[in-house]
A and B are shown apart, each in its own frame.
Chain A
């Protein structure tokens, strides 16, 4: 079946550092790819998405590019802030309308001032 693999955490960085969280996927079709963020005590929130190869999703300074040739969707941010501390999940869905998501195991990010 479809699956998503994320780099293991936790990840600890200093404020203004560059962030990369790796994500690779296995899927039989042409999935849409997502990054979700989970802040303490809150529900999952969509951070960004990409629906086809070479698409770049971006939001709040975060970016990720859908790379079909390497089956990857790595999350990057040029300068992280303390407020970015959260758990980040990479996910895929085979169909935009089905709304069934397959998640990676999550990466806990802590940013120190």
Chain B
């Protein structure tokens, strides 16, 4: 079991609303990545934060934004929710110098947009 925790585990929102998802990284990890996993699909990279700065972004519109805090926990914010935003949102934490053996994923937040 990893030390990456995500909250909430499930969430239901209405189209047009805004949502905030939270991630607490593994102790000592200063890099957090977010992924979107639609039903029956593989995870897609949204963005990565390193020491509170965005450090890479995938092909997602600006209404997907994030924050990383001094304790390295992170938030993913999605504005103007659309039906297609329904997905499992995964957070992963790491240290840049470590290999993928030490990239740990949380169990995710299941977001449903009605």
Residues of A in contact with B (beta carbons under 8 Å apart): 4, 32, 34, 41-46, 49, 89, 91, 93, 96-106
Residue B42 at the chain A interface, CB threshold 8 Å: yes
Contacts of A104 in B (CB 8 A): 42
Q: Using CB atoms, name the residue of chain A closest to B59.
A: A1
The distance in angstroms between the C-alpha atoms of A102 and B31, with both chains bound, is: 18
Q: Which of the four size classes fits the interface of chain B?
A: 20 to 34
Q: Using CB atoms, name the residue of chain A closest to B105.
A: A43
Chain A nearest CB: distance from B30 CB in Å? 12
Residue B28 at the chain A interface, CB threshold 8 Å: no
Residues of B in contact with A (beta carbons under 8 Å apart): 2, 4, 31, 33, 35, 40-45, 48, 56, 58, 90, 92, 94, 96-97, 99-101, 103-108
24 A–B pairs (Cβ distance < 8 Å), ordered by A: A32-B100, A42-B107, A43-B4, A43-B92, A43-B104, A43-B106, A43-B107, A43-B108, A44-B43, A44-B92, A44-B105, A46-B101, A49-B100, A89-B42, A96-B100, A97-B96, A99-B31, A99-B33, A99-B94, A99-B103, A103-B42, A105-B40, A106-B41, A106-B42
